Amino acid sequence: MTQQAPAPDVRRVDVRHRYEILVDGERAGLTAYRDRDDRRVFFHTEVDDAYAGQGLAAILVERALADVRASGLRIVPVCPYVAKFLKKHEEFADITDPVTPEVLQWLDAQLGR
């Protein structure tokens, strides 16, 4: 009988403002955000090279966005990967807000850049 790999785990790490995806207990990637009032602004997603191309970013972002909904918040997709994901997953359209120059300026200040 073949052994199934355990499902990856996604956790929200509030103090680091990010969600992490774990494979066999090892962190394989993250999606980072900052909160502005009721909007969770996603600005960067990365998956370690060793885990690339296995669909992990999609699992991570899907679970993160489901958590945003469950938390009663809204999504702002500054991260190009999250923006692309949302184009394919219309089920989050009702809680997605556009990226505006004002949000980008706010984000730059938050990130000190």
Ligand X SMILES: CC(C)(COP(=O)(O)OP(=O)(O)OC[C@H]1O[C@@H](n2cnc3c(N)ncnc32)[C@H](O)[C@@H]1OP(=O)(O)O)[C@@H](O)C(=O)NCCC(=O)NCCS
Per CB under 6 A, residues contacting ligand X are 44-47, 52-58, 79-81, 84
Question: In the bound complex, what is the minimum distance in angstroms from residue 72's beta carbon to ligand X?
Answer: 25
> Which residue's Cβ lies closest to ligand X?
57
The smaller minimum CB distance to ligand X, of residues 1 and 26, is found at: 26
Report the C-alpha gap between 29 and 22 in whole angstroms. Answer: 7
Q: Name 20's bridge partners.
A: 11, 30
* Choice between 1 and 43, CB closer to ligand X: 43
97 residue type, one letter: D
Q: Where are the alpha helices (DSSP H) in 28-93?
A: 56-70, 80-88
